[in-house]
Amino acid sequence: MALDRNQIAQRVAQEMKDGYYVNLGIGIPTLVANYIPQGMQVMLQSENGLLGMGEFPTEDKVDPDLINAGKQTVTAVTGAAYFSSAESFAMIRGGHVDLTVLGAFEVDQEGNIASWMIPGKLVKGMGGAMDLVAGAQNIIVTMTHANKRGESKILKKCTLPLTGVNCIKTVVTELAVMEIRDGAFHLLERAPGVSVEEIRDKTDGKLVIPDSVPEMQFM
Amino acid sequence: MSGFNKVVTTYDEALAGLQDDMTVMVGGFGLCGIPEGLIKAVYDKGTKGLTCISNNAGVDGFGLGIWLEKRQIKTMIGSYVGENELFEKLFLSGEMEVILTPQGTLAEKIRAGGAGIPAFFTATGFGTKVAEGKETRQFDGRDYVLEPALTADYSLVKAWKADTMGNLIFRKTARNFNPMMAAAGKITIAEVEEIVQPGELDPDQIHTPGIYVQRVIKGKFEKRIEQRTVRSA
């Protein structure tokens, strides 16, 4: 069975380490915060100027001056800090954030990522994504393996305008966990019940398949 | 106004000297920390042909969205169009020039502008559309793009508290681009929730020193929320 959005987030959360500063993008990455293992301390960085993002507020604690990068009302945890956008991106560009999780339209086997515009159709803007992919040491992309028409988004070469070049190392989709290195996607894990053949069929880029591909483990 | 007293009481005084075709920076991230009254006053004034530098362009009917409705912006420099339909339409039709800039690069371009640094190198955007036509250089084997600084004729910022001398304190994530824009504007107008007397703000707690601020006006804020997300108690 292909993973749902929450299960993708759950799998990504397994990459967290105690003491990590983490930036989570909009969409599936945001859900990762719900699955941080018990007893592990992780500080979430929100690029609009908050280190130590907490959960959504209760109705009586809603504060228009306290939002996340997705413009959602949030809270701040004990030990949080507020700062300007320049300071925020000094943290990001300066490589101080341990892990970044973000979404994408396409990735390719060279580690390139496209996530901010579809020419003539859709312009979201890159927001902080270009800075995040240029600055983070450790980036995980969460995305669906193929589009609604079944066309692969795991490509030899991205077709859309790029967000960053040679920067993506790990991709988690509803079907697989893959590592990008040496110009290929290396299949590390498959979703429970998903065959290697299905992953191969939905991957356009070069896919290296080891002899044994374990299923993802969920607690 | 006299000496270091920068307080003005009307939006006309606050925006005195603002003319068509000027460059205007507007603070805020989404609708958080935007100078609501100043935005409305520029709308009422009808100033046109503006180059507007702001991370976002408000939403339909609020914030900078109202400048879009009146076609007051000739060129928009920001990082995110998002779900603003009119913005996307004006961009795709070519009616408004839009220079999309990575958010961190935008923040640093403004910071550099205020700090007298003409340009800086950043790895952000290398190999993408953003770097097209720009000088690049390698440092320690990594490629960087030369990004010029930004300054403005007028900066419209929002702060929580000001004293009459223009020292500013921001609140929570409503700080965002406001401090850098305050420094990068030739004329910076701070619209604030509360104005106090000099000495009432702890000098250790001031985020933006008054030297960057030319005018201070007390505003009224609706503080509209874009995504009201709550959990049950």
Domain membership of residue B56 as a residue range:
19-100+151-218
A102 domain residue, yes or no: yes
CATH classification at residue B96: 3.40.1080.10
Check CB contact under 8 Å for B33 and A59. no
B226 domain residue, yes or no: no
Query: Helices (H), strands (E): how many in chain A?
Result: 5, 15
A219 domain residue, yes or no: no
Q: What is the pLDDT of residue A85?
A: 98
Mutate to test the interface with B, among A31, A51, A85 (most CBs of B within 10 A): A85
Strand partners, B121: B146
pLDDT tens profile A148-182: 999 999 999 999 999 999 999 999 999 999 999 99
Distances (CA, A) of A106 to A3, A187, B26: 19, 17, 33
Q: What is the pLDDT of residue B2?
A: 66
pLDDT tens profile B78-120: 999 877 889 988 988 899 999 999 999 999 999 999 999 999 9
Predicted confidence band at A123 (pLDDT cuts at 50, 70, 90)?
confident
d(CA B130, CA B77): 12
pTM of full prediction above 0.80: yes
Check CB contact under 8 Å for A65 and B128. no
Q: Directed axis angle between helix A85-93 and helix B103-115, to 10°?
A: 120
Number of domains in chain A: 1
Predicted confidence band at A51 (pLDDT cuts at 50, 70, 90)?
very high
Mutate to test the interface with A, among B173, B175, B205, B231 (most CBs of A within 10 A): B173
Residues of chain B with pLDDT under 70: 1-2
What would the two tokens of residue A1 be? 């069975």
In this complex, is the C-beta atom of B35 within 8 Å of any C-beta atom belonging to chain A?
A: no
Calculate mean pLDDT across residues A111-130.
90
A217 domain residue, yes or no: no
In this complex, is the C-beta atom of A55 within 8 Å of any C-beta atom belonging to chain B?
A: yes
Structure ipTM: 0.96
Q: What is the pLDDT of residue B3?
A: 87
**Percentage of residues in chain A having pLDDT higher than 70:** 100
d(CA A9, CA A31): 6
In this complex, is the C-beta atom of B114 within 8 Å of any C-beta atom belonging to chain A?
A: no
Domain membership of residue A67 as a residue range:
5-208
Check CB contact under 8 Å for A162 and B128. yes
A109 domain residue, yes or no: yes
A184 domain residue, yes or no: yes
Q: What is the pLDDT of residue B128?
A: 97
B23 domain residue, yes or no: yes
B113 domain residue, yes or no: no
In this complex, is the C-beta atom of A93 within 8 Å of any C-beta atom belonging to chain B?
A: yes
Number of domains in chain B: 1
Kindly identify which residue of chain A lies nearest to residue B56, measuring between CA atoms.
A127
What average pLDDT does the structure give for chain A? 95
**Cβ count within 10 A of residue A81:** 12
Distances (CA, A) of A3 to A32, A145, A154, A192: 14, 11, 17, 8
Q: Residue B145 CA to chain centroid, in angstroms?
A: 23
